[in-house]
Amino acid sequence: MNRSDRGQSHVVGVALLVGVTVISISAITASVGVLIDRQVASADATRVADGMETTFDSAGPSGVRRDQLSFADGTLRPVDRQLRIIDGKRVVRSIDIDALVFTSGDQRVAFVAGAIIRGAPGEAWLYTEPVTTAPPDGSVLVVGAPIIGSPDTVSGSGASVTIKRNVTHERSMIGNGTYAVAIETATPEPLARYLSERGAAIEQRDLDGDGVESIIATFEGKRRTYLLVHELNVEVT
């Protein structure tokens, strides 16, 4: 190999090294970017879940209240959901409770039936408990039904939304018997675990053919059963 060939080899080698370095830096930059995006989305989901816990306190007083909910990037939207009280095979009450769902990347937070659920279907967990209670003495079943209403969808970056609620509460007696509570949700596993741990027999079924299953929790024994409807009348601006 003459001096010219060696010079060309050095030039080619340096060019290849520079190319590999550029590719490596680009790959690292892309990985860091993805990691940062995921961290931001996770932080958003935590912030929204905390905000929902404060905002949708079903035990709070009646009247008008406003709270702020902020996120760096994502979408907050209502989805159709129902809660049903079932006596045997007969639906005693059916209520359009709906749910409020926040999504950002692969992060998801949903408020439904008083519970806040984090995570996508198949990998979700319970962030706060639902408002249905069944004491272990078997005497009472209290079914809580917070109703969202029909708020607007909000989507964008650097969003700070005002959530206004005009809350009313209504209690009614369902009866004294063995009742099941059916909660429609895209993330059934956390609610199924929670209600099962409190003595309910659990099944999952699509009750209205809309493609979304309901958790059906049957509490054994005759219980004095009450329905607490919390009309939240949510507006998102």
In this predicted model, what pLDDT tens digit does every residue of 153-167 receive, in sequence order? 988 887 788 888 888
pTM of the model: 0.81
- Residue 13 — pLDDT band, cuts 50, 70, 90? low
Task: Point out the least confidently predicted range of 28-42, 73-87, 223-237.
Answer: 28-42
Would the CA dihedral through 136, 115, 125, 82 be positive or negative?
Answer: positive
106 vs 216 pLDDT, higher one? 216
Whether 28 has a pLDDT exceeding 60, the answer reads no
Whether 170 has a pLDDT exceeding 50, the answer reads yes
The confidence score (pLDDT) of residue 118 equals: 95
Residues 44-65 have a mean pLDDT of 84
